[in-house]
Amino acid sequence: MEKIAILCSGGDVSGMNPAIKRFVEYTYAKGMQPFFVYNGYEGLIDDHISEAHYEDVAGIMIRGGTKIRSARSVRFKEASYRAIAAENLRQKGISKLIVLGGDGSFRGMEHFYNETGIAFCGIPSTIDNDINGTDYCLGVDTALNVIKNAIDSIRDTASSFRRAFVIETMGRDCGYLALVSAITSGAEVCLIPEIPIDIHEYKGCFESQIRKGRDYFIAIVSEGLKNSSQVARWFEDELGFESRVSVLGHIQRGGNPSVYDRLMAYQFVTHAIDALQNGNNNSVICYTKSHFNFKSISEVALNPYTLDEALLTLGREQFAPSHCQM
């Protein structure tokens, strides 16, 4: 029986557990023996690898995070430790590997494949949605819904106290979460690395809106800008609005996986396993324009991700100070 393993690397996302469940059930259906690698690449090196069974995935569909845990591995960057990891897999007869992670994880696997020949398929899994070559990464929809609920709740208290709330979203240097959340929540301000805007440009417009009755503000700021506190002070110093900063932080990674993330998890894993069985030994399964397709590691991991131009245009139109209604 052919043996295949799965691991999670880097930050966890809601959607990993549904992917793990599908992995076990689909590999059995395809006549393969599934294995779990616990603790990401660290688990590969430390031989935390064990057979997976149906009972291991019972009831995990509704859980955020990952049952097999994740990690960031500095050791895996060294060839000597990758050799140990490969030997651990060979000792168990495992010839194929599925990796749920980001571009850094995929770069590591490219080195691993070139050195060992152990086949693998990567599944983009990061709430940052910043992997080149794919329009969607596992976990993004759940994260957006967590942010939506937080913004809706914060809006209640902002309007009750005549305050300005600056809400900081995750995303590293990518503004996807902030931009989509700002557009869909009706925020007054959206600040992301991809659309450079000076907050001072809003002053005249916002003063006009205040005179016409606006009594609170919601500003969505991407963590990559590192300026949430400065934006809050601007609302106080320039507009006289009591301000609060709400850093949503790691709540964006957790939570009950959304229906969409559960469905995408199943489809990502299904395509990945089919590809490995069909001899596609070194790729990342991507989702673009409503279609799944495979791309080389160099396409995915060695090129920067850029936000969709149509989405950026929408953001510029929505949040540019020149379009602010006086």
Annotated active-site positions, please? Answer: 128
> How far apart (Å, rounded) are the C-alpha atoms in residues 18 and 12?
13
Look at residues 45, 144, 44, 40 and name the one whose alpha carbon lies nearest to residue 101. Answer: 40
Residue with tokens 């990690």: 71
Gyration radius from the chain CA atoms: 22
By the 8 A CB rule, do 285 and 268 touch?
A: yes
> How far apart (Å, rounded) are the C-alpha atoms in residues 69 and 77?
19
User: Per-residue DSSP letters for 141-191?
Assistant: HHHHHHHHHHHHHHHHHHHHHTEEEEEEE--TT--HHHHHHHHHHT-SEEE
By the 8 A CB rule, do 297 and 107 touch?
A: yes
φ, ψ of residue 294 in degrees (nearest 5): -105, 140
φ, ψ of residue 15 in degrees (nearest 5): 125, -20
Which structure tokens are listed for 225? 């800008």
Total residue length of the chain = 326
Which structure tokens are listed for 82? 């990758």
Residue 135 DSSP symbol: S
User: Per-residue DSSP letters for 17-84?
Assistant: HHHHHHHHHHHHHTTEEEEEETTHHHHHHHT-EEE--HHHHTT-TT--S-TT-----SGGGSHHHHHH
